[in-house]
Amino acid sequence: MLRNLMLFLASNAKLAALISQVGRRSGLTRRFIAGESLAEAIPAIRELESLGLDTTLDLLGEGVTQEEEAVNAARLYRRLLRRIEETQLRSGISIKLTQLGLGFDRELCDRNLRLILDEAESLKKFVRIDMESSAYTEATLDLFRTQLEHYGPRRVGVVVQSYLYRTESDVKSLIGTGCNIRLCKGAYMEPEEVAFPKKADVDANFTRLLDLMLDSDLYSAIATHDERMIAHAKKVIASNGLPENRYEFQMLFGVRRELQVALRQEGFRMRVYVPFGTQWAPYFMRRLAERPANVLFILRNMFKA
């Protein structure tokens, strides 16, 4: 019930604007958002790097409705790639295709994506295509496959979500490409017709997909804060004798920092997704939806700022 409420709030533009005002005033968003600009986020990124953690930068924003907005987003992503190079951050970027126009003009989105990947190619940087709601899954994977053929797995990767019924088939279709796949559970409100409604089923599917990926030629980016999933992954990695260049663990900025550091100290590659930007409210609400403890944190600190 609470999760569904949070996800509903995340999809409501007016409520998102109100949440943005409250969040800026209270400062509570600093737990999950590194800043509203790259300049604000760099100190947090440097701190993570000092701990041996790699990062992926997530310029927040999604669901644009105008061509000018989509073109501007592509411009900002290209500028972000150049700033990563200039500041010598150990970072790639994550992008949402609805921010590039996928929701209203697929050809525009494709052009914008190619511009970003051309920039990434010239700078030798990696771009992760994020996965959004199930309404965009097919188009996202189609565009990814097209770009993968052109740019290769060293420049572009994708995300799959274990709460979708279709994901096992999607992963199997990508085996043989050697591509880079980030496996997460998923954080959007979905109907029972397309997604597992029970958390236990989502978790079980995550494990099945993880086994499938680690037993293939894919590069597996294991995105979870769940210690049971991490323990399972370690077991499979050890039994398969997987080299370090075939997988990594990933977590979100502001979540389980001690576990992130512990995994790195054990010798595992650990990457942190670092979100920043002014359009952070939908992302923030989805983080609250994932764990009741996040909501309790907000309530406890509501009047401290």
- Supply the residues annotated as catalytic: 130, 182
Distance separating alpha carbons of residues 5 and 26, to the nearest angstrom: 22
Report how far residue 27's alpha carbon sits from residue 297's, in angstroms, rounded to the nearest whole number: 13
Integer Cα distance of 136 and 95 in angstroms: 14
Which tokens belong to 60? 């927040």
Q: What is the DSSP letter of 189?
A: -
3-state secondary structure of 179: coil
Asked if 55 contacts 62 with a C-beta cutoff of 8 angstroms, the reply is no
Q: Which amino acid is at 106?
A: R
CA distance linking residue 31 with residue 123, whole number of Å: 31
Check the CA dihedral 214-219-225-230 and report its sign.
positive
Question: Helix 227-240 and helix 199-214: axis angle, to 10°?
Answer: 20
Q: 148-164 in b/e burial notation, b at 16+ Cβ within 10 A?
A: beebebebbbbbbbbbb
One DSSP character per residue, 52-105 reads: T-EEEEEE------SHHHHHHHHHHHHHHHHHHHHHT-SEEEEE-GGGGTTTT-
Parallel, antiparallel, or unpaired: how do β-strands 54-59 and 270-276 relate?
parallel
